[in-house]
Structure 1
């Protein structure tokens, strides 16, 4: 099982304005899986997996998300660097880890808001189990994910092992900030996590 750095999943931001995922949840670097030119595989009945391929676009029709990806790295603190705060329609993925659709857990982070406006994941709380989202990939394929649950966690009690599971299944997590904004520490009090699994490929 891959375990995140002992650093808290989200480190308080140095800015004074409320801005989601100013420090995105910590995620352990995940080793690249072998590349393959093969099509989607079934690891067992009902469990799809795709070869590794970088994501290029996230689409969540229910909440109007249609956003490009940027690769994110693990920073010196052991936490995942956040997407640039100036672009409200941008999502990031842990580019050194699992790609969406590949076996394992792919991490996709986005801002809730900026100092001046809502951002790409502002409506993430409107998603429900059974909803779907799609990830277009560099190899021309699309990974379609089915949402299993949408849950909020206190940042000081973040379930690292559950969110960042090492698994033979192709899973994805959409992560943003949630809860109240604590001006004393300049950060939100919670993280919202959308848990999903690969359901279709195209």
Structure 2
């Protein structure tokens, strides 16, 4: 009878065996390759995850630095505004003080001599004048220093009433502003 043979063709059987071994080897290689690829993918994934985390940390740090810079700039702007406000207040105070000093100076009329006796007053009638008296006469000893009653500019000085006539003797005329003048007459020198 016939002998039972696994394969009809003995050559085919060897080829099949070789193909099966080769297929098994390839399968193993593919499995190992997939494992290696998976390991590489895991390493790449963990590397990518690390890179993403590093990038996120860098972005967070940059955002934090930018927030600090914005806060510092806002603080600087606030300090500048406060300094400007303080300077404006100081300037206003200085202006107010200067105005008060000018007002005080403008209002600071003084007596031309420290001690005197009024010998003729303004608008006084008398036989010594053709019209009413045009000033106030302070009687003081000869040589007494005379001060200007207020700040101004000397516009006339000299004998003969500084040009206003012999009745005034030695005289000085000072212009004070606002069309105001003062005349110091009957001076010894």
TM-score grouping bracket, smaller chain normalisation: under 0.3
Instruction: Pick 1 or 2: higher relative contact order, CA cutoff 8 A, min separation 6.
Output: 1
User: TM-score under structure 2 normalisation?
Assistant: 0.24
Determine which structure has more spread, i.e. the larger CA radius of gyration. 2
TM-score (norm 1): 0.23
